[in-house]
Amino acid sequence: MPYWTVEDHIRLDKKNQIGQGLFSKVFKVSETEVIILTNDNAKECMGAFCQGEKHIPKMERLSDIGEYQAYKMPLYQKLMKKHSRAWEDYKAVEKTLKYLSLRKYDCFPTCINAIEKSEDLSEDLKESLKTLIDMMANYTDDIFLDLCKRNVMVDNKGNLILTDIVGSSQELSKAWARKFQKRKKKEYSRFF
């Protein structure tokens, strides 16, 4: 892992934060790069096992910061209709896997089968999707798919990038429970 410096910590200031999800915070550190702080095991698996696929984000593990792992990633663009090829790819992924995204069991074989049978997906997109789903299936047996538009991006070549479409439903439930507990403590603390 590359050395993590004090300057790197300084750049992870709130004013540079451009995104936050349940598991991750994203900081813009230059015109072309972001740093992701995450405690999402799917990101760890993507960074370690899914590199080299056209539609999977290029991630470099930097180090650990407390409970988070830090990754460097290119600054991708938000997906919009003007990104015609990426938009069409997103719609094809959505069409192929939309109804499967609600499943929390037996997802792996069903998704792989749907991907392989799809006539709407390009071969390289099929390979990227299968790699992501296979990676998660090796990590957990409770895969969920989250195919909303905020979980995909576009690279500088116009390719759809699948930044955050797979996860563990068990980890998601735990994260929501932690968030609810923090909120509940905060609400009650104002009375005491």
Residue 74: pLDDT band (50, 70, 90) is very high
Spatial CB neighbours of 144, under 8 Å, sequence gap ≥ 6: 101, 103, 104, 107, 166, 167, 168, 169, 172
Q: Looking at the predicted structure, is the pLDDT value of residue 69 above 90?
A: no
pLDDT above 70 for 143:
no
Structure tokens, 126: 């099929």
Other Cβ atoms closer than 10 A to 24: 19
Task: Look up residue 155 and give its two tokens.
Answer: 């690279």
Amino acid identity, position 172? L
Question: Residue 8 pLDDT more than 70?
Answer: no
10-67: pLDDT as tens digits:
566 778 888 887 778 889 988 999 988 887 777 776 766 677 889 998 988 888 877 7
Residues 40, 28 contacting (CB under 8 angstroms): no
For the chain, the structural domain boundaries read: 6-76, 78-189
Residue-wise over 46-69: b if at least 16 C-beta within 10 A, else e? bbebbeebebbbebeebeeeeebb
3 state SS of 24: strand
Q: What is the pLDDT of residues 144-173, one digit of tens each?
A: 677 888 889 999 999 999 987 776 667 777
pTM comes to 0.79
| CATH no., domain 6-76 | 3.30.200
SS3 29: coil
φ and ψ at 94, to 5 degrees? -60, -45
**Cβ-based neighbour number of residue 185 at 10 Å:** 9
pLDDT of residue 20: 81
Give the pLDDT score at 6.
Answer: 43
